[in-house]
Amino acid sequence: MLRYLTAGESHGKVLLGILEGIPAGLKVERGQINLDLKRRQSGFGRGARMAIESDTVQILAGLRKGMTIGSPIALLIENKDDSIDALPAITRPRPGHADLAGAIKYDRGDIRDILERASARETAMRVSVGAICKMLLEEFGIRIASHVIEIGGIARDNKAMLRKVEECSRIGDTLGGLCEITATNVPIGLGSYVQSDRRLDAKIAGAMMSIQAIKGVEIGLGFAAARLPGSKVHDEILFDKKAGFFHKTNNAGGIEGGITNGEPVIVRIAMKPIATLGRPLSTIDIKTKKKVEAQVERHDVCAVHAVSVVGEAVLAFVVACAMAEKFGGDSLSEMKRNFGGYTKQVKSF
């Protein structure tokens, strides 16, 4: 079983992560993790924080000579801006953020205590964890990729997207959008219909919704399937002696009945606009109870490109978990033997 924990605040000293369950014998390339961290910091509309931070990961435990040894992997990313203790108190919650609900839940009179952990800065560590999971999946030929579909209602036109982001930056507004994450060469049979919590699509949806600012998840056709007749939705099954069973189309997005069906797993996520606005909305001061303008923090105008990279990491982790559950093994060699036997079984079905 794979699992991970992250720790750290947006302006604290470091971000920390512990990833457990990666089998022994996997070569981990630190440079690949840093490449994904760099990708996370890129894209239209990123804020001033990206000019300060240049994220690189340190691997503190779990490797020997660049190879996993079966023990938990400890990861660290330093924050260049670690001014958390010097930052002023905040009492003006931002609409759309965890500020007010978090302050009430944890009984904090300073909203700074909430936003420091609720911040999407935490996703830098999730990208690091996901990058290691990608390396594991690549040992089995599984690839994870993503692309932005839409920003602020503009689809598949980078120049128009950029103009929209620049326009919103000038007027102090923010933008969300849609991105698509795909896992290819995923074997048939990951997940299960036996219990609700074993359905792979349920795990993917829950994991994607855990990403900050994500408000919707689709697999395959998603919501579009609700508007079409079954004859236009369900994927016809074909057979070839060399390829075995396959589907004519992939409207299911690679998952049927909570189980992968051998086609690419296709997931789309919807990101809402960033909650911090240059021209803030009205709110209520939690101390004075008077109407005021919401707090303005250093922020992105648009982070859809970044969230697509986070989505890759999240999907990689969920698929890696399913692979570990299906094929087990304390070492990569054992896991590959189990995978090889299963592959032969599938081909002979």
Point out the residues of the chain with pLDDT beneath 50: none
DSSP β-bridge partners for residue 58 = 76
CB 38 within 8 A of CB 50: no
CB 253 within 8 A of CB 219: yes
Cite the DSSP H helix spans in 15-77: 30-40, 49-52
Q: How far apart are CA 298 and CA 183, in angstroms?
A: 34
Contacts of 71 (CB under 8 A, 6+ apart): 61, 62
Contacts of 277 (CB under 8 A, 6+ apart): 94, 172, 173, 174, 294, 296
Amino acid at 193: Y
Q: At which residue do the structure tokens 């579909």 appear?
A: 149
DSSP state letters, 101-145: HHHHHHT-S-THHHHHHHSGGGHHHHHHHHHHHHHHHHTTT-EEE
CB 317 within 8 A of CB 4: yes
Q: How far apart are CA 305 and CA 146, in angstroms?
A: 9
Q: At which residue do the structure tokens 């000293």 appear?
A: 13
- 214: helix, coil or strand? strand
pLDDT given at position 51: 58
The pTM is what?
Answer: 0.95
Total number of domains constituting the chain: 1
CATH number at residue 7: 3.60.150.10
Could you say which DSSP state residue 9 is in? -
pLDDT digits (tens, 9 = 90+) for 250-302: 999 999 999 999 999 999 999 999 999 999 999 999 999 999 999 998 789 99
Q: Give the other-Cβ count within 10 Å of 264's Cβ.
A: 16
Structural domain harbouring 214: 3-347
